[in-house]
Amino acid sequence: MRVDFHFTPHQADEIWLRNKDVVIIDVLRSSTTIATSLRNGAKEIIPVASVERAVKVSGNLFGDAILRGGERNGRMIDGFNLGNSPAEYTEEKVKGKGIIFSTTNGTLAIERARFARALVVCGFVNISTVAAFLRTQGRDFVILCSGRNGMFSLEDTVCAGMLLRRMMDNHDVEIELSDGALAAVHLHKSLGKNIMKLLRASEHGRYLIQIGFEDDLSLCAGVDTVPVLPRLVGGVIRLNADPGVQVTPAA
């Protein structure tokens, strides 16, 4: 099983990603928010890269069963129902609803890989569930980190390293790592012992604290606290329907 790795979506070509298995990582905060919303009963997430596209898509849908969620520069987009804080996506707000979702980095990465054979969303909160899915697939895969404004993201890379170490600990799986994937593993060995400390020290973590979202860091730092598998199928993210992979939707 070979693992290729990209630090940002700008490094990955859309055509090259076609028909590959892809893991999207955006720890702060899209991955965490998507997992949380689905765990709390959201029907589906419709990821779009631009605000204009989000408005257009929502204009074609009717009723109060559709919400618009997302952010630009960390703050909720004007006219949207929700931002990108996982704390906002409570069962009371999202259960049974579809969410049109647009963020600065995360949905850009998802759109870049929208023609993948299998696309799943990973954060610290669901990392073991994603590792189990990848082992079940038994195929080569690509890790695509969302980064931050086209730049390297420390927390996404350390999360990728944790994912790979979880898989490497299973001796039934033989893994060949690209140089980028190997670097992610070594970064996790160096910096992954205290995830909360890592997030607080990271550039994006410091920015979120500055604009008032410090509490989100603790939600994003939880390991296996939201054990669901968000999977993109037909342009829509839902809980994975594969009976071979255990997921835990809200009651």
Residue 246: pLDDT above 60?
A: no
Predicted confidence band of residue 241 (pLDDT cuts 50, 70, 90): low
pLDDT at position 105: 95
Q: Give the domain ranges of the chain.
A: 2-234
- pLDDT, tens only, 138-155: 999 999 999 999 999 999
- Alpha-carbon distance 163 to 170, whole Å? 12
Predicted confidence band of residue 65 (pLDDT cuts 50, 70, 90): confident
pLDDT at position 247: 41
Architecture of domain 2-234: Alpha-Beta Complex (3.90)
The answer to which of 37-41, 52-56, 173-177 has the lowest mean pLDDT is 52-56
Calculate the alpha carbon distances from 164 to 11, 109, 118 in Å.
20, 19, 18
